[in-house]
Amino acid sequence: MGKKVGIAIFLLVLILGLSACSESDNKKTLESGSMNATDVITGQSPQNDELKWKWIVEAGKYEDLYFVDEKWIAVKGGNGKYKVINTQEEVVLPDEYDKIYGFNESVAMVELDGGFSYIDKKGRSITDEQYQNAGPFSESRGAVQQNNKWGYINQSGELTIQPQYEEVKSFIGDRAAVKLANKWGFIDKSGHMVVRPQYDQVGDYSEGMAAVQLDGKWGFVNSDGTLITELVYEEVKDFHEGYAAVMDNKKWGFIDTHGQVSIDIKYDDAGSFSEGKAAVKVSEYTEDGDAWAYIDYDGNIVIDFFPYNASEGRMIEVGEFKNGLAFVSKDLYCIIDSKGNNVFLGDSKFFISAFYYDKQFNVIPGYIFTDESMKVRKYGLLGLHGEQRLEPSFDFIGEMNGPYATVINVVNGKDEKGIIEIYK
């Protein structure tokens, strides 16, 4: 948080990819009689009837807009100030802020005249103090900067930890990383130094462990600050489901919460565990090049090696599992189930625009090409099997926020944002 903290409410990351796997993959899946992914998710077929939509905020009505809470939207008027409306377009907070950030724990950071402060959901300031900089609330604490030093306040606006640090991070797992004399350590919510400042870099706590680095080598400390493994690794990733990926001599494996190597360090890359599986890569696995597999906690291969390549400039994706599904790239983007079988069974005119699936509405943001040269796109929503769920009629559509989505239409070369609600 040494840099100005801001929460990007509306990150429109344009990811290319097709919502159906290749035809040969689909044929192989059908021939094997594989499990349908809808069984994995709900035990029954998803809703395939086409959805309807209506404007919540018409595109172009405001200079800018983004969600700050589940049903609250920050909008920027002609005066350059932000106010907050609800999904009925009723004003819930007046227009008086240069910027308002998302609500965390019912508190939002606001910026006015170059200073930072916090408000509650009634628009009341929780502190009379304006700070040089600030961070979002996490675990009932907000980081604030005063006279170039950082400390923390509580939800009543009281300074519970006096500004004294060069840099700080948010509280996670009752611990926050702080920097003194150019070294990082960790404090608890009372301000007690749990891990004295001694490391060059640190990560956040995850599952009671935090990555720490000194002289270019990484290890992990537990919540008491005790090293569970020596500082010997070139790179590490956070703990997930009791295991952390670590790299030694340019090879990846996994350690457990005792710091013991639980899966041999022999892979060329590795992801994190999700729903009992982690992706691992072997370079030059075949004459076609690299290949990825998914392994279980014991290191057994549960989804066999496959060359998850991406064509035409797309990023290679070998995603984590959520609700029994993972986004992957097989030249074009598709989705696999927990057995590695393709979910999209058949061709689709849609391409995926975000690695995001909304289970409740059975929708994935996507687009189609409307011209033969494949340069003009229109965005809508597709279902798990690539079927059209919402007619592609927007110039961009972002991820869903429940039944709501932020959309963009381009008018005279200018992006005009709006918000729609989908319904049956």
Give the pLDDT of residue 332: 82
**pLDDT (0 to 100) of residue 345:** 55
Does 69 map to a domain? yes
pLDDT at 298 over 60: yes
Is residue 369 in some structural domain? yes
What token pair was written down for 316?
């290679």
Q: In what order do the strands lie in the sheet with 243-248?
A: 235-236, 243-248, 251-256, 261-267
pLDDT over threshold 90, residue 399: no
- How far apart CA 396 and CA 116 sit, in angstroms, is 32
Q: Is the pLDDT of residue 13 over 90?
A: no
CA 140 → CA 109, 153, 166, 256, distances in Å? 13, 8, 21, 30
Contacts of 193 (CB under 8 A, 6+ apart): 185, 186, 187
Distance of CA 112 to the CA centre of its chain: 28
CB of 329 within 8 A of CB of 318?
Answer: yes
Please state the rounded mean pLDDT for residues 338-354.
84
Q: How confident is the model at residue 47 (pLDDT cuts 50, 70, 90)?
A: low
Contacts 24+ apart (CB under 8 A), 310-318: 310/17, 312/16, 313/16, 314/15, 314/16, 314/17, 315/15, 317/17, 317/355, 318/271, 318/279, 318/281, 318/292
Cβ contact 133:147 at 8 Å:
no
* Within-domain flag for 17: no
Does residue 181 belong to any structural domain of this protein? yes
Asked whether residue 7 is assigned to any structural domain, the reply reads: no
Answer for the pair 217, 252: CB distance below 8 angstroms, yes or no: no
CA–CA gap between residue 272 and residue 329 (Å, rounded) = 17
| pLDDT beyond 70 at 227 | yes
Res. 398 pLDDT band, cuts 50 70 90: confident
| Beta sheet of 278-286, edge-to-edge order | 269-270, 278-286, 289-295, 301-306
- Number of domains within the chain: 1
The pLDDT of residue 108: 97
Amino acid at 393: S
Dihedral angle, C-alpha 183, 189, 195, 201, nearest 10 °:
-40
Whether 15 maps to a domain, the answer reads: no
Nearest to 57 by CA among 423, 421, 347: 421
Structure confidence at residue 310 (pLDDT): 84
In this prediction, residue 367 has a pLDDT band, given cuts at 50, 70 and 90, of: very high
Does 311 fall in a domain?
A: yes
From the centroid of its chain, how far is CA 233?
26
Residues of the chain with pLDDT > 70, as a percent, come to: 88
> pLDDT-derived band of residue 6, with 50, 70 and 90 as boundaries?
very low
Ordered DSSP codes for 62-109: SSEEEESSSSEEEEE-TTS-EEEEETT--EEEEEEESEEEEEETTEEE
Q: Which of 389, 404, 401 shows the shortest CA–CA distance to 19? A: 389
- Domain of 76 in residue numbering reads as 23-423
With b for 16 or more beta-carbon neighbours within 10 A and e for fewer, the 243-277 pattern comes to: bbbbbbeeebbbbbbebeebbebebbbbbbbbeeb
Establish if 3 belongs to a structural domain.
no
Mean pLDDT on 169-182? 97
